């Protein structure tokens, strides 16, 4: 059996080896992330059948849990690592042609580090280890946001950094408190011992951890960094930040809430918070004229939707929430990638600069349209089955409150539809003013777009493809006792 630790070790090792490769040849450097994530994606796919039967627990250094650090490759972890590897691979291919300026070697190194950190967060079974991987993710993303080095990039990076650092400090205090209370850092062991602790003493570390992780997960009102950072980063990094980084943050929140604390009573609060995040994100996106800020605010909205779905906390809802996560990664990744080249060609981030893009860059525009339709949740794209599951789960609660909340969620969808369709109209139904030369994105840019579109279509038409993994991932989150048993034996 293959060892899941390779999922983290390979990108991490290659990240540090990358400057050495750079000594041999400057040209091969950019292919290293591609290779790393091909490997990771294949490995994650290979692991899926195994982990569906039984979660793989890797003891690092040979200490059995709860001692030492362990990795838990359950369905959730492998699902996320496959998603990270997929998005990482496609964006790495995109970056082959897109990243042409600046210290390229460092870009690729940080890129590998970012995704190694993300993979670490989703696989680890130790809460301090989670913090460390989280910091790897965050620090490399601060640096990557500043990669272009212009005014906006630096400004947003420093703002992101300060908020992220405050968040991490809270997270660390929370972890310290937990350790002080229980004397363990193993998540399964913590989960077991928390049952017997008094609620008020556990509450303080919980809110600290939630707040700390919530900054990265873009929960309202902790998300002020997001629109700046996502809009100022290079588009390939925006795609990863939106498609992976905040998802991983959300994963951490969900893992802490569900597995460690089993905080079922807080879910109602989080349902409200999710709807609030959704509405605020969508409304801010509606008011934007800058395409990348619009997409960034739309990510906030989508995060809100996922938080809402998770907070319903039934197996349907979790399946739906995880599915929405997958569909958001695919959709938003695609949108940022396409927007990247449209910005490159038009020289502006204003939506009005994209007039006539349907003629100038037909394939890119088509890909953008499909991504937008998918995010709005139109069939036959992947956004539809995921929204379908969430709405169904909310209605299956058969409570007036949830019906009202789902109404508000769908109001958010209406707003979302309004701004996405506006962009689609600009792409296709406005005459290009001035330059109307037909020149699409380069091949290395088109390949990931096409693959994203293919995934969006295939999963939209045949959701059964992933539903089994999603189901068992949902049940892993929902049944914390089984998680504890599978780790501690």
Task: Answer whether 329's CB lies under 8 Å from 414's CB.
Answer: no
Query: In terms of CB distance, is 48 or 467 closer to other proteins?
Result: 467
Nearest to other proteins of 339, 427 (CB atom): 427
Instruction: Report the SS3 class of residue 225.
Output: helix
Minimum distance of other proteins from residue 219's CB (angstroms): 8
Query: Measured from the CB of residue 393, what is the shortest distance to other proteins in angstroms?
Result: 8
Q: Which is nearer to other proteins, 206 or 291 (CB)?
A: 206
Beta carbon of residue 24, minimum distance to other proteins (angstroms, whole number)? 27
Q: How far apart are CA 404 and CA 413, in angstroms?
A: 14
CB of 80: closest distance to other proteins in angstroms?
Answer: 21
Entry field: residues in the chain = 489
Smallest distance, other proteins to C-beta of residue 389, A: 7
Residue 66 preceded by cis peptide, ω within 30: yes
- Please list the residues that pair with 58 across neighbouring strands: 71
Cα distances from 342 to residues 210, 239, 375, 435, in angstroms, run: 37, 14, 19, 13
Q: Where are the alpha helices (DSSP H) in 72-222?
A: 75-98, 104-123, 127-145, 151-182, 187-194, 199-217
Q: Which is nearer to other proteins, 97 or 268 (CB)?
A: 268
Q: Between 34 and 382, whose beta carbon lies closer to other proteins?
A: 382
**Which residue, 89 or 284, is less far from other proteins as judged by CB?**
284
185 or 241: CB nearest other proteins: 185
**In what helix (H) or strand (E) does residue 69 lie, and over which residues does it extend?**
strand 69-73
We find the least distance from the C-beta atom of residue 35 to other proteins, in angstroms, to be 27
Write the CB contacts of 338 (distance below 8 Å, at least 6 apart in sequence).
Answer: 364, 365, 367, 368, 371, 441, 449
Element housing 6 (H / E): helix 5-24
Q: How far is the CB of 168 from other proteins (least distance, A)?
A: 8
């Amino acid at each position: 059996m293959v060892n899941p630790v390779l999922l983290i070790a390979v990108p991490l090792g290659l990240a540090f080896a990358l400057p050495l490769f750079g000594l041999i040849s400057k040209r091969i450097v950019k292919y290293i992330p591609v290779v790393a994530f091909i490997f990771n994606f294949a490995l994650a796919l290979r692991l899926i059948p195994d982990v569906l039967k039984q979660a793989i627990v890797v003891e690092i250094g040979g200490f059995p849990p709860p001692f030492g650090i362990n990795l838990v490759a359950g369905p959730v972890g492998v699902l996320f690592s496959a998603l990270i590897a997929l998005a990482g691979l496609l964006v790495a291919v995109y970056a082959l042609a897109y990243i042409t300026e600046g210290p390229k070697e460092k870009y690729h190194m940080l890129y590998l580090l970012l995704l190694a950190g993300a993979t670490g967060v989703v696989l680890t079974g130790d809460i301090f280890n989670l913090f460390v991987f989280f910091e790897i993710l965050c620090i490399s993303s601060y640096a990557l946001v500043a990669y272009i080095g212009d005014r906006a990039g630096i400004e947003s990076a420093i703002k992101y950094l300060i908020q992220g650092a405050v968040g991490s400090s809270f997270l660390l205090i929370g972890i310290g408190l937990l350790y002080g209370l229980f004397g363990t850092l193993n998540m399964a062991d913590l989960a077991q011992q928390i049952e017997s602790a008094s609620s008020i003493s556990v509450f303080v570390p919980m809110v600290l951890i939630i707040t700390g992780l919530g900054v990265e997960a873009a929960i309202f009102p902790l998300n002020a960094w997001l629109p700046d950072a996502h809009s100022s980063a290079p588009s390939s990094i925006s795609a990863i930040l939106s498609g992976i980084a905040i998802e991983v943050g959300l994963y951490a929140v969900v893992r802490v809430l569900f597995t460690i604390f089993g905080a079922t009573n807080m879910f109602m609060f989080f349902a409200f918070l999710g709807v609030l995040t959704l509405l605020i994100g969508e409304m801010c996106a509606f008011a934007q004229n800058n395409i990348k800020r619009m997409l960034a605010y739309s990510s906030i909205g989508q995060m809100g939707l996922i938080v809402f779905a998770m907070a319903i906390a039934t197996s349907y809802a979790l399946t739906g929430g995880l599915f929405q996560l997958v569909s958001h990664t695919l959709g938003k990744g695609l949108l940022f990638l396409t927007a990247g080249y449209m910005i490159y060609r038009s020289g502006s981030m204003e939506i009005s600069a994209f007039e006539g893009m349907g003629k100038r860059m037909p394939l890119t525009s088509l890909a953008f349209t499909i991504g937008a339709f998918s995010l709005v949740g139109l069939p036959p794209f992947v956004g539809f089955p995921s929204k379908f599951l969430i709405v169904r789960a909310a209605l299956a609660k058969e409570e007036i409150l949830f019906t009202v909340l789902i109404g508000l969620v769908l109001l958010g969808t209406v707003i979302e539809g309004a701004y996405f369709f506006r962009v689609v109209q600009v792409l296709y139904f406005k005459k290009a003013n001035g330059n109307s030369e037909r020149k699409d994105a380069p091949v290395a840019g088109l390949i990931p777009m096409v693959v994203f579109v293919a995934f969006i279509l295939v999963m939209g038409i045949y959701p059964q493809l992933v539903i089994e993994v999603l189901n068992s991932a949902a049940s892993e989150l929902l049944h914390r006792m089984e998680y504890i048993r599978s780790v501690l034996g």
